[in-house]
Amino acid sequence: MTTYYSGNTKAYVAVDCIIFGFDDNKLKLMLGKRQMDPGRGEWSLYGGFVGTDESVDEAAHRVLYELTGLKNLYMRQVEAFGAVDRDPGERVVSIAYCALIKISDYDHRLYEEHGARWVDLDQLPPLYSDHREMVQKAITLLRKSINSEPITNSLLPDYFTLTQLQHVYEAILGENIDKRNFRKRIMSIDLVEKTEMIDKTTSKRGAALYCFRDKRSEQHHI
């Protein structure tokens, strides 16, 4: 038995997942009612404790998989939260992760089995512990990295219109974008590729469907 550090105390280490989706031109957050004490019944992010045989990153992916059945989603560490009393039960240091889901690609039954709900970001209920702060940090992170990481790729279905893409940018950045400037910029960075397909669901005229050019950005799900 190893006892190198036995003079020191241990703590529970947890992960909490800030799961974003995009639907109805709005950013959504996946929340559930907390199913354990303390705080049972409060709105909460999905989380779990880090096990002995998994890294913290792996724990985050596991929690997300258990909830959604999806693997290899975009996921990124946001920050470790370590206030002494952040958890009303015991000392828990939690590492927050931001995850992005293509809502429309998957059916919602698994979420619902867990009592999960997509909630509009601008209508968040009070959240358990410091989860609200985690969400805020995650949004700040999304805004900073929207142009350098495959964020929009992870939120949109495989084929999408430029208007949809613009709405994702607007939802994340929280501001309106000029349509012409936006299209010019997107075209100049080789991000997307036009397909032959036309989407007729949002207008009578129909809009060209695009896909992301970088095949590396395609996520592989189980």
CB 18 within 8 A of CB 98: yes
User: Could you tell me the two tokens for 187?
Assistant: 């075209």
In the bound complex, what is the minimum distance in angstroms from residue 192's beta carbon to its own copies?
A: 26
Which residue from 52, 122, 175, 204 is in contact with DNA, where contact means CB under 7 A?
204
Contacts of residue 92, Cβ cutoff 8 Å, sequence gap at least 6: 11, 12, 13, 14, 86
Q: What type of residue is 206? A: G
Q: How many residues does the chain have?
A: 222
What residues numbered 170-189 form the site for DNA, per CB under 7 A?
178-181, 183-185
Residues β-bridged to residue 28: 21, 120
Shortest distance in whole angstroms from residue 166 CB to DNA: 9
Stretch that binds its own copies, among 82-90, 123-131, 163-171, 186-194 (CB under 8 A): 82-90
The whole-angstrom separation of Cα 30 and Cα 119 is 6
Contact track, DNA, 138-177, x by CB under 7 A: -----------------------xxx--------------
Cβ 155 vs Cβ 22: under 8 Å = yes
Q: Does 91 bind its own copies (CB under 8 A)?
A: yes
Binding status of residue 80 toward its own copies by CB under 8 A: yes
The residues of the shown chain that bind its own copies, judged by CB under 8 A, are: 2, 4-5, 8-13, 36-38, 49-57, 59, 77, 79-84, 89-93, 95
